[in-house]
Structure 1
Amino acid sequence: MIIRRIVAICRNYLWEGGTEYHRAPLVAWSTVCCNKKSGGLGVKDAEKWNIATVGKLVNWIYTKADRPWVQWIDHIYLKRNDWSTYEPPSNSNWNWRNICKIRSKLDAGFVNNCWVADPKGYSVGSGYTWIQDIHPPVFWYSDVWDRWSIPKHAFITWLVYHKALNTKEKLHVIGICDSADCVLCEAGIETYSHLFEDCLYSKQILGQIEIWLQLKLHSDRKYSQLQQHVCRMAKLACWYRIWMERNKCRMDLQLTMPDKSVKDVKRLIHARISQMIMQPVTSHDQQWLSCLDILL
Structure 2
Amino acid sequence: MEKKDTIWVKWVECNYLKGQQWVDYTPSPNSIWVWRRICRVKNEIVHGYVDGIWHQQEDFSSTRCYDWLRGQAPKVRWEKVVWTGWSIPKHNFLGWLWAHGALQTKCKLLNYGVLDEDTCLLCGMGSESQEHVFFDCPYSRQVILQVKQASGVDIPATNALEWCMNRHGSSVQKGVQHAMVISAVYGIWQQRNACRHELVIVRPEWLAKRILNDMKARIRERDKSPLSIFDVEWLESKNLM
Give the distance between the partners of 1:142 and 1:194, measured in 2 at CA: 24
Which amino acid counterpart does residue 167 of structure 2 have in structure 1?
Answer: R
Q: Which residue of 1 aligns with 2:192?
A: 246
Q: Select between 203-212 and 185-194 the one with higher mean Cα deviation.
A: 203-212
Superposition pairs of residues 189-200 of structure 1, within 5 angstroms: 189-200=127-138
Superposition pairs of residues 182-221 of structure 1, within 5 angstroms: 182-217=120-155, 218=160, 219=163, 220-221=166-167
Where does structure 2 lack aligned partners over 5 or more consecutive residues?
A: 2-7, 12-32
Task: Give 1:128 shift.
Answer: 5.1
Q: Which residue of 2 aligns with 1:143?
A: 81
Compare relative contact order (CA 8 Å, sep 6+) and give the higher one, 1 or 2: 2
Partner SS, residue 247 of structure 1: helix
Whether the 8 Å CA contact 1:167–1:192 is kept in 2: the answer is yes
Q: Which residue of 2 aligns with 1:62?
A: none
Q: Which residue of 1 aligns with 2:93?
A: 155
Which amino acid counterpart does residue 286 of structure 1 have in structure 2?
Answer: V
* Higher gyration radius (CA): 1
Equivalent pairs counted in the alignment come to: 194
Give the distance between the partners of 2:236 and 2:123, measured in 1 at CA: 35
Task: Give 1:208 shift.
Answer: 2.3
Residues 272 and 210 of structure 1, relative CA distance in 2, 3 Å threshold: same
Partner SS, residue 147 of structure 2: helix
Partner SS, residue 289 of structure 1: helix
Whether the 8 Å CA contact 1:171–1:177 is kept in 2: the answer is yes
Whether the 8 Å CA contact 2:173–2:234 is kept in 1: the answer is no
Residues 203 and 187 of structure 1, relative CA distance in 2, 3 Å threshold: same
Which amino acid counterpart does residue 119 of structure 2 have in structure 1?
Answer: D
**Alignment partner of 1:133 out of 71, 76, 96:** 71
Q: Which residue of 1 aligns with 2:201?
A: 255
Residues 235 and 175 of structure 1, relative CA distance in 2, 3 Å threshold: same
Q: Which residue of 2 aligns with 1:283?
A: 229
**Alignment partner of 2:180 out of 225, 234, 246:** 234
Whether the 8 Å CA contact 2:167–2:174 is kept in 1: the answer is no
Give the distance between the partners of 1:286 and 1:191, measured in 2 at CA: 38
Whether the 8 Å CA contact 2:87–2:215 is kept in 1: the answer is no
Superposition pairs of residues 262-277 of structure 1, within 5 angstroms: 262-277=208-223
Give the distance between the partners of 1:174 and 1:131, measured in 2 at CA: 28
Where does structure 1 lack aligned partners over 5 or more consecutive residues?
A: 6-23, 30-46, 59-83, 87-99, 116-121
The reply to whether residue 173 of structure 1 matches residue 98 of structure 2 is no
Partner SS, residue 201 of structure 2: coil
Residues 294 and 196 of structure 1, relative CA distance in 2, 3 Å threshold: closer
Q: TM-score, normalised by structure 1?
A: 0.57
Q: TM-score, normalised by structure 2?
A: 0.68
CA RMSD of aligned residues (A): 3.1
How high is the sequence identity, in percent, across the aligned residues?
32
